[in-house]
Amino acid sequence: MSNILIIKHGSLGDLIQANGAIKDIKEFYPNRKVFLLTSAPYSLFMSECPYIDGVITDKRLPRWNLFFLYRLKKLLSKYNFGKVFDLQNSRRTKFYKNFILDKAEWSSSANTLEPGQTKKDFDNYPVLDRMELQLTKNNIPTKYVKNVDLNWANEDLSKLTDQYTNRDYILIFPFCSKKHQNKKWPFFKDLISKIRREYKNNYSVLIAPGPGEFEEANQLNAKVVMHNGESISIKMLISLINDAKFIIANDTGPAHIASHLKKKGLVLFGSHTSAAKVSIENSNFKAITVKNLAELNVDTVMGEIKMHLN
């Protein structure tokens, strides 16, 4: 019997959002092995996911690197993949369809489109709607695609958090990738000072920087959460978010985690995209959207925190 391959390279937020679709695919194919092709930063994390039987790491080297392509094709051919679910839907995965996994049946946005619809039209749909449509097109019941379950990644983090606080905490994510600086709100330092003055007797303020973010984190007036002097793992990050009283973040992976955990919090959006398109808002996790994040003042954000935290 042939195996199933799901492709989702990342980013972290995208991979978190795909967990529901991955679970739906696995439940539809209970007697077939389901593998995930993903990027190196997420391989270890997803190897513990109970909805997949194995993880294959894609180094994503340039496509002109023929040696890399040959090795990848040789590796994937060993798994006898009869069906591929391309949840990344990128130019790279389209290339893989034509030259790496050309013998497998392929599900992607291309064969999910309605007559006369373009991929650009399809990409304007909210992220979770796109995955739901893609699975529905393959007659897969979509029980979890919009109900992402991250319980498998949650663990007891009390030994770590006890090092930083003995009370409830507000968790802040002021960072974003270097490629997407337009997602970054510039006033987190001032906000943290206001939160500490307002809630000094009730909440601690914690931040959890990723690799390369410690220098910036140390400039903020908050407790920097680390594990053995390094960034915490993705599972630890999920658990830290799950135990937080409130989260404030840019539009990044941790914000998507908070959303799917149904945590109370705020995510700050500029004009780079919309909260609806990335499927991030719910009854607890709210978005503040402005045209220019540099024009979003601290008092406005603080007012929203007071409204939703209390």
CATH of the domain at 139: 3.40.50.2000
Task: Identify whether residues 50 and 160 lie together within a single domain.
Answer: no
Task: Identify whether residues 70 and 217 lie together within a single domain.
Answer: no
pLDDT of residue 124: 87
Which of 114, 14, 48, 33 has the alpha carbon at shortest distance from 78? 33
Task: Identify whether residues 266 and 294 lie together within a single domain.
Answer: yes
User: Are the C-beta atoms of 212 and 176 separated by less than 8 Å?
Assistant: no
The pLDDT tens digits of the residues spanning 251-307 come to 999 999 999 999 999 999 998 888 889 999 999 999 999 999 999 999 999 999 999
Task: Identify whether residues 290 and 158 lie together within a single domain.
Answer: yes
Runs of H (alpha helix) within 2-90: 12-17, 19-28, 40-46, 66-77
Sequence-distant (6+) residues with CB within 8 A of 236 are 155, 157, 160, 227
Q: What predicted TM-score, i.e. pTM, was given to this entire model?
A: 0.93
| Sites in the chain below the pLDDT cut of 70 | none
Task: Identify whether residues 214 and 303 lie together within a single domain.
Answer: yes
Task: Identify whether residues 110 and 256 lie together within a single domain.
Answer: no
pLDDT of residue 166: 92
Task: Identify whether residues 94 and 164 lie together within a single domain.
Answer: no
In the numeric block, which tokens belong to residue 75? Answer: 């590796």
Task: Identify whether residues 112 and 174 lie together within a single domain.
Answer: no
| 269 beta partners | 289
Query: What count of Cα atoms within 13 Å lies in the side-chain half-sphere of residue 205?
Result: 23
Provide the domain limits for residue 98.
3-149
Domain final residue, candidates 100, 119, 149? 149
Sequence-distant (6+) residues with CB within 8 A of 246 are 170, 171, 203, 263, 264, 265, 305, 308, 309
Q: How many domains does the chain have?
A: 2
pLDDT of residue 59: 96
Rounded-to-integer distance, Cα 3 and Cα 45, Å: 21
Task: Identify whether residues 116 and 253 lie together within a single domain.
Answer: no
pLDDT of residue 114: 86
Task: Identify whether residues 242 and 121 lie together within a single domain.
Answer: no
Which of 308, 205, 207 has the alpha carbon at shortest distance from 252? 207
- Average pLDDT over all residues of the chain: 94
Task: Identify whether residues 86 and 192 lie together within a single domain.
Answer: no
User: Are the C-beta atoms of 169 and 192 separated by less than 8 Å?
Assistant: no
pLDDT of residue 115: 86
